[in-house]
Every structure is written in C-alpha cells, then in structure tokens.
Amino acid sequence: MHPRTRPSRTRTGRAAAVLAAAALVVTACGGGGSGGQVGGGGEGSLAAVGLDGASFTVGSKEFTEQIILGEIAVQALEAAGADPAALATITGSTNVRTALTSGQLDMYWEYTGTGWSTHQQKEVADAPRDEKELYDAVKQADAANGIAWLDAAPLNNAYALAISKAKSDELGITTMSQMAELINSNPAQGKICAAAEFITRDDGLPGVARTYGFTVAPDGVAELELSLIPPETAKAEACTFGEVTVTDGAVSANDLVVLEDDKSTFVDYNLAMTVRQEVLDANPKLAEVFNPIAAKLTSEVMRGLNERVDVEGELPDEVAEQWLSENGFTG
C-alpha cells in the first residue's frame, strides 16, 4: 500500500531519483536520547525549528504503520521549513536499512528489537529485557555504523500471535504455551498465518518455536501479506493462529485475542528515528523535530492511527496530517 501524495506539497527533483534508487533494492519484511524540545503544545510549533532550505530523503517499510510514520516525518520536515522528497516505501527491514547505510535515504523510523536482531545480528535470547537498556545498547552499537538513533517513543510494536475470540473460547487457548501444546499434539489444527519476514527472522517464528518447544510442519504455516492475516485468522480456516503486532489496528476490528507471551520470547520494539550521523551532524535541529513527536507516539495512539487506515479506509498521508495538527506540531 502506498500513500497518495497531495498535489499541494512541494517536492524537489530528488524524489524521482530516490524512488528509482529504492526500486533497485531487492525486495524482501521503540528509551532516551538527545536533542532539544519543540512543541506539540503550540500551533505550528515546528515552524520555529528553522530547517529552511534543507533537503532530506525519508524512507519507510511497506506496512501501514511505517507508511503513516513516514508521512508524519515528511510532513514534519516540511512544517520545519525543509524540502523533503516524496516518501520512499521499501519492502523489508534489511532493504530499507541498506538504503539508509548506502546513502540512498537520510532517515527512517526503526524499532529497537529489529536493530538488535536483524541489523546487528545479535541473538534474541541475549537482548536486554528492559526497554531502555535495549535502546541504549542498540544506539551505542549503531554509532560505529554511522547511524544515530534519536529519542525512543513509548510505542512498542512488539510481535504477537493472535487467535479468533471464538476459537480461543472453543479451544481454551489464551497463552503461547497452550498454542505450542496444540501444535505439537494436533499440527493440522495448529497452523499459523504469517508474513514472509516473520517466518524467517530469528526474532519471529523460529525464535518462538525454539522458546516454546514446538516444531512447525512444512505445511504448518500459511504465508500471507500482513494485511490479510487478521481477517484470515478471524475465519480460522487457513490457520488457527496469526502473526500480528501490539499496535495492529485490525486486531480488535477482527475480534482477535492476542495470546499471552508467557515465556517472554518477544523482545521490545520501541520506535525511534534513525538518521545517518553525517546528516544529523549537518542538521542537528532534526532532533528538535523528531524527539517531541516520538514522545507522543504511544502504542495506543499508533493502534488508533493504524485502524483508521486499515479498517476505516483513510489515507496514510491524511491521517498523518491530522495527527500533526491535532497535537500542535503544525498549524
């Protein structure tokens, strides 16, 4: 899903180049920090930051939450006087990270759990279970890669597994340990709907299976696009369980029950803006733009924004525009 670009926005000629470069990336798919304080409390407060004349390229991953967040970033930069290119949406965490480290992108929102396991190739089992400790560890390690992490948001988009309310009541399953028991005893009834990235990532299904002690049969997983998983899980035909996230707006809309992660296999996924260090050094006021925004992005807030797009059919750029205005960042 890609957002429409409002005709009224000003874009530089860099947009086409950035999107073309992003297309070359092979398809694959939240603290403390530094920076000043700006608004969220006064009308048009980002205008006071003063990034006039600066140009940036902002990226996002391909799913709804990331596109909304990417639009928030682009519009916030515009409000601060900068001239950002159109949002470049790239499929897959590894690919968008590669676009950042190679200089095709200047910034994008990332999650601490992804930084730890995917980008820094560290064992999920070794990840700090305190969210600030995890953020600090990821931030420090990435400094050596020339990537800066701005302040982390309260938003924690951790992985989760869900089941339909009806199926939960029928089977008496509310925890992931109970899910594992079903998969081991009746694999045909314990199938999982998941997206490609979750199926292969160590902090996804492989890690879950290892922690909870079950084996996924070759036909035990139905690979689907993320947006299709909640309604398919609700039907309980192709699968009994489905991959979701804590901030997934489609969970309540499809009457799903998020299973308790009773062995704490999933690490924290607090959100933070990641920026190439050379870009931040040249534009230190970026922290004044994004740190106050991050402070207002809670899991509950994000779930509501996601639901407006995935369930109510609103456009990501319009949802982003309204959120920035309602929170006093723009006039």
> Which pair of tokens denotes residue 101?
């480290």
Give dist(CA 25, CA 141) in Å, integer.
Answer: 24
CATH architecture of 14-157+269-326: 3-Layer(aba) Sandwich (3.40)
Task: Write down the pLDDT at residue 302.
Answer: 96
Amino acid identity, residue 70? Answer: G
Q: Is the pTM of this model over 0.85?
A: no
Question: Domain limits of the chain?
Answer: 14-157+269-326, 159-258
Asked if 164 and 258 count as a contact pair (C-beta separation under 8 A), the reply is no
Each residue's pLDDT tens digit, 29-70: 334 333 444 444 444 689 999 999 999 999 999 999 999 999
CB atoms within 10 A of CB 225: 12
Same CATH topology for 14-157+269-326 and 159-258: the answer is yes
> Which pair of tokens denotes residue 300?
């509950």
Give dist(CA 129, CA 91) in Å, integer.
Answer: 28
> Which pair of tokens denotes residue 96?
């968008």
Residues 6+ apart with CB under 8 A from 305: 65, 68, 249, 319, 320, 323
User: CA triplet 51, 54, 59: central angle to 5 degrees?
Assistant: 105
Hey, what CATH class is 159-258 in?
A: alpha beta
Amino acid identity, residue 232? Answer: E
Task: Write down the pLDDT at residue 10.
Answer: 31
Task: Write down the pLDDT at residue 18.
Answer: 39
Q: What parts of the chain have a pLDDT lower than 50?
A: 1-43
